[in-house]
Structure 1
Amino acid sequence: MNDQGTLTQPVLAILPRPASISYGSGNFSLTHETLIITNQETANIGKWLAGELLPGSTLQMFIDKPSSNQPAISLHLDPNDGQFGQEGYALTVAEEGIELRAATPAGIFYAAQTLKQMLPTGSTENSSWSIPAAAINDAPRFPWRGCMLDPARHFIPKAEILKYIDILALHKMNVLHLHLTDDQGWRIEIKQYPELTKVGSQRKETIIGHARNSNAYDGKPHGGFYTQDELREIVSYAAERFITVVPEIDMPGHAQAAVASYPEVGVLQEPVEVATTWGIHPYLYNPTEEVLQFLRNILDEVLAIFPSIYIHVGGDEARKDQWQASPAVQARIKELGLKDEDELQSWFLSQIGAYLESKGRRMLGWDEILEGGLPAGATVMSWRGIEGGIAAAQAHHDVVMTPQSHVYLDHYQSNDPAEPLAIGGYSPLGKTYAFETVPDVLTSDQKKHILGAQCNIWTEYIPSVEHLEYMTFPRLIALAEVVWTPEAQRDFSDFCQRLALHEPRLTEHNIRFRPVATLTQEASFPLR
C-alpha cells in the first residue's frame, strides 16, 4: 500500500484531502446490479447516493437486509462508535464490496461524498464503473466550515442558492451564511412588515463602475426577495445535505433599505430611498424601545424559518453620524449611563442578544461588536484581519475566522488585465490556501474557541450568477481543504494537482470557474 501522505501524484482527486488514505489492490465494479444497504436513519442518504453514483439508474436498496453474494455498498451507522466524532467516517473499498461507517448520518453523508469523488468524471453509457480499492479514515478539523453569500446587493435566485448548496456539500462545507438585508436591498419576507419587501427589496438603479470614481447609473430597477416558503425550502434542502443556513439581519447599521420602508425606525424619521451605490451609508436604527421591538418582531419571524442556533446581527460599519447629531439619541446615551456611541451600539446589540438567548439562540456578529464592550454570549466573526478573533478568544468568546485578506472572494484572484471589475484587494488561490485559522498567540484553552472559518462573497461588483461562480471557484475549494484537512497534511502543489483533475466535476455541475492552470501567484495587484 502507498500512503497518500507522501506528496506524490495522488491516485484520487478527493477534495478536501482526507486525513488518511491508503490504497489496496484491485477495484470494485459499480454496476446496475449493485445493492445499497442502509438502515432507516440512512435511507435518504442511500437514495441520494444511488442517484449520484449512476444517474438515472435504479440501484436496488435494502433496509437492514444482510448482504447476499451480490456486490453491495453498505451504509453502516454505529452511534456508539466514538472514534468518528460527529462528522468523521471510514470508507473501505474492496473488490467484494464497499462499506461506509460513521457514528452519525452526517458522517455517512461525507463518506458518500468522498465515494462520489472516487468515480471517474463524465457521463457514461457503460454498464459499470471501476472504483479503486482504498481505505479512508477521515474527520474535519473544524466544526464551522462556511460560506457567506450576499443576495442583498445583487439578488441571487432561489434555484442558484440550491445549486450552491450542492457544491458546498460536495466539498464538505456545512454552513451557508445568507446576508439578507443591507442598504441596497431587503431580501426576506416579513409578514408583519410588508413594506420591507414592497419598498425595501427594490432599488431604482445601480451605480456603474467602481463607487470610488463613478457618478454614472444604469437606470435599471433591481430587486427581488425570498418568500418565507422559499426560505424554508432552502433550509430544508440544506439540512438534507447537513448544511446549516445562518441568516443575517444587519443592525444597527446597513439599515437604509429598512428605513426606506419604515422611516419611523430611523434616526431622522424622514423618507429616504433604497441605496443605489455601494460603500458605508449613515442610516442607523433609532435606539428606542419601539425600534428594538420592531427588530424583535422581525426576529420572531426569522427564528420561525431558520432553526440555526446562530443568528447573525451584523454590527459592522455602523457610522455614528446620525446618532452623534441627534439630541434624542444623545439624551438616550445619558439616560442609559453610557459613555459614547460605541457603548450605545454595544447596549443595543446586548438587548438583541439577550432576546435571542431567551429564544434558545446565540448572537453572531462581525468583529465591530467588540467595540464598546462585547455583548455577553456573542460569537465573533473576525473579518478585519484576525486581531478581533484573537481578542474575542482571549475573552472566552467563540470565533469564526474570516479575514478579508485571505477569504474575501470578491477580491481579485489574478493580475490578468482581463479580470472583471472587483471591489479591490488581491487574494489569489495560494493565499487562500495558506490561511491558518488558529493564531499561534492563543493558549491551548483559547484555541478551543476557534470554531473554524468561512469565505465571504460580497456582491456589490458581482451582478450575475456566472460572475459569482467565477469569483468563488476554485478559492472556496481551497478554504474547504483548510477547514477540513489536518494542517500537517496540506500541501499547495498537491492540492493544485488534485484540483486540475477535479475541474471536470465542476463542469458536470455546470459551475463556471477559473482554471487552476491560469491562476498566477503575484505578490500584489493594482486596485482599479
Structure 2
Amino acid sequence: MKKIKPILILCMILLTGLPVSAHTYSIIPYPKSLIPQEGEYIFKNGQKISFPTEISEVAKEFICRIKTVTGINLVTISESKKADISFTLQKNMANEAYKLHITPTHITIQASTPAGFFYAIQSLYQLMPPEISVNKRTESVNVWNAPCVQIDDEPRFAYRGMMLDVARYFMPKEYVLEFIDRLAAQKINTFHFHLTEDQGWRIEIKKYPKLTSVGATRPYTMVGYKTFHAPIIPDNTVHQGYYTQDDIREIVAYAQKRFVTIIPEIELPGHSSAAVAAYPELSCGIKNRYEVVKTFGIFDNVFCPNEKTFRFLEDVFSEVAALFPGTYIHIGGDECPKTAWKQCSHCQGLMKKLNLRDENQLQSYFIHEVEKIVNRQGKQIIGWDEILDGGLAPNATVMSWRGEKGGIEAAKSGHSVIMMPNADTYLNYYQEDPEYAPIGSGSFLPIEQVYSYEPIPAQMNDRDKKYVLGMEAALWTPYMKNPDVVDYYMYPRFYAVAEVAWTPAEAKNYTDFLARIRKQYARLDLQQVKACRNYFDAYIDGAFNKRTRKFEVRITGMIPGSEIRYTTDGHIPTLASNVYSNPIVLHKNTTIKAAIFTPDGNITGKITEKNFVVNKATGKSYICNVPYRFKPDNPGAKDYSKFNFCGLTNGIKGYLNHVHPWVAIRPTTITEITIDLEKQEQFSSIRYSVLNGYGQEAVAPQETWIEISDDNNNFKEIAHRNFTYHIENKWQIFEHNFTFAPQKARYVKIKLKNGYLPHKLGGFPVPEEKEGSLGMIFIDEVEIN
C-alpha cells in the first residue's frame, strides 16, 4: 500500500472525524486513540525483548507464539538494557488499558496490569500478517511486519461478555477452549457458560451423579424449527455429553491465562427439566413421569420451592462455586411457568404462610433463598430480568434481555446491570435472508444493528448510568447442532459486539468497521472457522416506493467501495453485466441475480438471487377484519426495510424456511382481507399462497370467496371455491389461483373460511387445549393481474 504522510493522515482525521487507513490498521475492537505513523517494524531473529517479572507469563506466551509461527527467536534481556521490544509497567494506568508504540526500530508496550499487556499484544497480532493467528509454523510469509502506529487504548466498559449455550447442544471441550481464544483475541473478558437447561445438564456434580447419568442424555431431538412439524418428527439420534469437574478446571485455567472470567449458569427455577428428570422429587409432582425434553420451548417441569430443593441447590452451588473462582454465578430466573406451583398444595400453603400475593412473589421468594445460598459460597448472583418480578433479591445483578426496561428499572433501584436486549444482542437470530440460511431462532439481526447498539439507554440519568457494568451477546443453541453452526451465527457479528463493548462511542464508524472486517476473515479462514460469508455477498431488497409510486430494488454490499453487477434476465452476473448504481425499477415479475466483483474481475462471494412479483396490488394498502398475530409492515412506511418481514403486497413471496414473510391472522370463522387498489383497475386473475403448519396453528382455509367494490361498502362476488388438501405433518405451501372474466374495481376483498386444528396431534408443539379449535390463516403475496 502506498504510504501517506502522517501530517496528511492527521488532517484527514481532523476533517472527517473517522478512523483512517483501515486496511493497515485493521484492529477490532478499534482503539480509543490511534495515530498512524510512517514505516513498519520488521521482526528478525535475535531481536532483544525485555519485560518485568510481574508479566513474565504474558511476555513468554508472546515469545513462544512468535517462535512457533514465524520461526523467529526473540532474545530475552534485562529491563535495564536497551531492547528492540520492551514491556514497561506504568502504575498510573487503568486496569485493562495499554499503550502500544511501533516505530521502524522499536516496539514499546506500556500497561499497569498483565491484562493490559495481554490486550496490547492482541492488537499487535492484528497488525501483523493474519498467519500469526494460527498456532503452527507457516512458511507462506516472507516478511513478518507490523505498521508503525501510536495507540493509547482502554475499554469503555469493564464488563464485556459473550454467552454460549452448551445445554441445548453439548459443545466439545476442545471447542470451548477455542471459543475462549476467540473471545480473548477481541478483548472480551467474560464468558457466560450456560450449563443447564430442559434439554440437558452439562456439568458433573459429584453428590448428584444422576444429573449427568440421566440429565445429560436425550434419546432424540425434534427435527426443524420448534413449530415446523406437528406432531414432532424425531431425528432418531441420541444426544449426550457433559463436562467433568476436571474438564471445568482445565477450561477455567485456560480462560484465566487469557484474562477471561467464566460465569457459570445453573438455570432455575424454570428450564429445569433435565434436573427433575434425574431427581423427580425436586418437582411439584404434577406429572407421572419426568424426562429430559427433546423439543425446544418453555416447559412446566420446574423446581418446587421446598426444603429438599433448597438443600439440593446448596449442594450444587457448593461444588460449582469451588470450580469457578469469579465473583458471579448466574442463576437464570427467566421463563418460569407457574402451572406446577398453582397445582401444588405445598406451594399454595407456602404462599399463605408467607403472605405472598401470587406466584410471581413465590418466584421472588425462591430467588431470594437461592441468593442466600450463593452468598454463603462467597459469590454474587446474576439473573435474567424476570428476577425483578415480585421483588428483586438484595444484592442481585440484573441481565436485561427483554429489551432495556428491566435494566433501567434495576439501575433505578441501585442494582448493577448488564445490558443484553435480545433484539440487538442475540446472535442466534438470522443475519442473512432466512430463505437461504441454516435454521435460526426466529428473528433477524443484521450486523449493522448489532454495531449501532448503544448499551447506555438514552432515558437513563447520570446517577443510574454508573450501574451499567457493560454488555453481553448471546449464542443460544436450540438449532446449532455442532460448532460449525455456532461459528456461522457468531461471525462476523461478534466483531460488532466486541467494538460496541470496548470502543468509545465517538470513535466508532460503521463504514471503517466493515473495511477492517476484511482482514479478520483472512484470520478466520486460516483458523478454518466456518463463519457466515454474507460479508462477501450482494444483498437484494425490494419495496414499493411510496414517493415515486414505483416498485424498486436496491442491492447493497458490506465491503466498502465494492462493485456490484446484476442481471434481470435470469443469467449469472459477469463482468459484462450491469453495474449497480441506482435503484432498479421493476414493472413486472423479475428475478434479480447479483454478485460483488473484485477489481480483477472475480466474484467475492456467492451469487445471490431474489424473485419479485409486481402487479396491480404491489405496494397497495390492505385491512383485515381481525387482529394479526404477526403484524405486517405498513406498506410504504419505509422505502426499504433492509429485510422483508411479512406483508401481503411487498413483492416477496412466502417460503418454508421462516414465518416472517407470512401475514398471520388470528382465528375467526371468516377472515376478510380488503385491498385498496387506489383507483379502479381492470384485472382477470388473483393469486395468493397459504401456509399449513399445525405447529404454528396455521390451517389452510376450507373455502374462499373473491368480492369487488368501488366504494368499499357494496361488494359483488366474482369467484368462489372449496378446497381440499393432502396434509402432511410439516409446513406446506398451497397456492390458490382464481381466473375470471375481466373485472373493474378499486377494492378487492378476499374472504377465507378458517379450518380447524385436528385432534390427536400428540401434544407439543400444539397445546392439547388448542386441538379441535379454529386455526389461523397464514397468507402471503396477493397478486392481482
Shared fold (TM-score, shorter chain, > 0.5): yes
Does the 8 Å CA contact 1:200/1:261 hold for their aligned counterparts? yes
Asked if 1:249 is matched to 2:266, the reply is yes
* Equivalent in 54, 57, 61 of residue 48 of structure 1: 61
In structure 2, the CA distance between the partners of 1:312 and 1:8, relative to structure 1 (3 Å rule), is same
Deviation, structure 1 residue 513: 1.1
Does the 8 Å CA contact 1:410/1:457 hold for their aligned counterparts? yes
Does the 8 Å CA contact 1:35/1:59 hold for their aligned counterparts? no
Cα shift readout 1:256-290 (whole Å, capped 9, x = no counterpart): 10000001011117531100000001011110122
Write 1 or 2 for the structure with the bigger share of strand.
Answer: 2
Letter in 2 for 1:459: T
* Equivalent in 229, 244, 267 of residue 227 of structure 1: 244
Cα shift readout 1:209-242 (whole Å, capped 9, x = no counterpart): 1111321011111010000010111011001000
Partner secondary structure for residue 220 of structure 1? coil
In structure 2, the CA distance between the partners of 1:326 and 1:389, relative to structure 1 (3 Å rule), is same
Partner secondary structure for residue 107 of structure 2? strand
Query: Take 2:172 and 2:349, find their aligned partners in 1: how far apart are those partners?
Result: 44
**Which residue matches 2:206?**
191
Query: Take 2:117 and 2:428, find their aligned partners in 1: how far apart are those partners?
Result: 33
Deviation, structure 1 residue 127: 6.2
**Which residue matches 1:211?**
226
**Which residue matches 1:240?**
257
Letter in 2 for 1:254: H
* Stretch moving more, 125-134 or 331-340: 125-134
In structure 2, the CA distance between the partners of 1:327 and 1:465, relative to structure 1 (3 Å rule), is same
Asked if 1:60 is matched to 2:86, the reply is no
* Equivalent in 16, 34, 48 of residue 35 of structure 1: 48
* Equivalent in 99, 105, 112 of residue 103 of structure 1: 112
* Equivalent in 77, 83, 86 of residue 74 of structure 1: 86
Cα shift readout 1:152-188 (whole Å, capped 9, x = no counterpart): 0000000000001111111000011011000000000
Aligned residues: 523
Does the 8 Å CA contact 1:32/1:128 hold for their aligned counterparts? no
Deviation, structure 1 residue 502: 1.9
Deviation, structure 1 residue 86: 0.8
* Equivalent in 473, 479, 482 of residue 464 of structure 1: 482
Does the 8 Å CA contact 2:18/2:507 hold for their aligned counterparts? no
Query: Take 2:409 and 2:171, find their aligned partners in 1: how far apart are those partners?
Result: 34
Deviation, structure 1 residue 50: 2.0
**Which residue matches 1:410?**
428
**Which residue matches 2:279?**
262
* Equivalent in 494, 497, 519 of residue 479 of structure 1: 497
- Aligned 1:78-477 pairs, distance under 5 A: 78=90, 80-81=91-92, 84-122=93-131, 123-124=138-139, 128-214=143-229, 215-268=232-285, 270-415=288-433, 417-477=435-495
* Stretch moving more, 33-42 or 518-527: 518-527
Deviation, structure 1 residue 507: 1.6
Query: Take 1:404 and 1:397, find their aligned partners in 2: how far apart are those partners?
Result: 20
TM-score normalized by the length of structure 2: 0.65
Partner secondary structure for residue 13 of structure 1? coil
Letter in 1 for 2:156: R
**Which residue matches 1:6?**
18
Does the 8 Å CA contact 2:188/2:498 hold for their aligned counterparts? yes
Deviation, structure 1 residue 34: 2.0
Letter in 2 for 1:485: T
In structure 2, the CA distance between the partners of 1:100 and 1:519, relative to structure 1 (3 Å rule), is farther
Partner secondary structure for residue 172 of structure 1? coil
Cα shift readout 1:185-207 (whole Å, capped 9, x = no counterpart): 00000000000000000001000
In structure 2, the CA distance between the partners of 1:63 and 1:340, relative to structure 1 (3 Å rule), is farther
Letter in 2 for 1:177: H
Letter in 2 for 1:460: P
Partner secondary structure for residue 381 of structure 1? strand
Deviation, structure 1 residue 55: 2.9
Report the structure number with the largest CA radius of gyration: 2
Partner secondary structure for residue 171 of structure 2? coil
Query: Take 1:293 and 1:64, find their aligned partners in 2: how far apart are those partners?
Result: 56
In structure 2, the CA distance between the partners of 1:63 and 1:173, relative to structure 1 (3 Å rule), is farther
Query: Take 1:95 and 1:251, find their aligned partners in 2: how far apart are those partners?
Result: 56
TM-score normalized by the length of structure 1: 0.96
Instruction: Give the root-mean-square deviation of aligned CA atoms.
Output: 1.6
In structure 2, the CA distance between the partners of 1:525 and 1:124, relative to structure 1 (3 Å rule), is farther
Cα shift readout 1:414-466 (whole Å, capped 9, x = no counterpart): 12521111110000110111111000111111001111111100100111110
Deviation, structure 1 residue 7: 4.5
**More RCO (CA 8 Å, sep 6+):** 1
- Identity score, percent: 38
**Which residue matches 1:25?**
38
Letter in 1 for 2:530: R
In structure 2, the CA distance between the partners of 1:52 and 1:151, relative to structure 1 (3 Å rule), is same
Does the 8 Å CA contact 2:47/2:75 hold for their aligned counterparts? no
Cα shift readout 1:482-514 (whole Å, capped 9, x = no counterpart): 010000111111100001122101222221212
Deviation, structure 1 residue 525: 4.4
- Gaps of at least 5 residues in structure 1 are none
Does the 8 Å CA contact 2:290/2:301 hold for their aligned counterparts? no
Query: Take 2:504 and 2:316, find their aligned partners in 1: how far apart are those partners?
Result: 40
Partner secondary structure for residue 149 of structure 2? strand
Partner secondary structure for residue 430 of structure 1? helix
- Gaps of at least 5 residues in structure 2 are 1-5, 132-137, 540-555, 557-641, 647-657, 660-785
Deviation, structure 1 residue 340: 1.1
Does the 8 Å CA contact 1:142/1:451 hold for their aligned counterparts? yes
In structure 2, the CA distance between the partners of 1:519 and 1:364, relative to structure 1 (3 Å rule), is farther
* Stretch moving more, 58-67 or 311-320: 58-67
Does the 8 Å CA contact 1:31/1:127 hold for their aligned counterparts? no
Write 1 or 2 for the structure with the bigger share of helix.
Answer: 1
Cα shift readout 1:309-358 (whole Å, capped 9, x = no counterpart): 01000000000000011122100111122111111111111111122223
Query: Take 1:182 and 1:152, find their aligned partners in 2: how far apart are those partners?
Result: 6
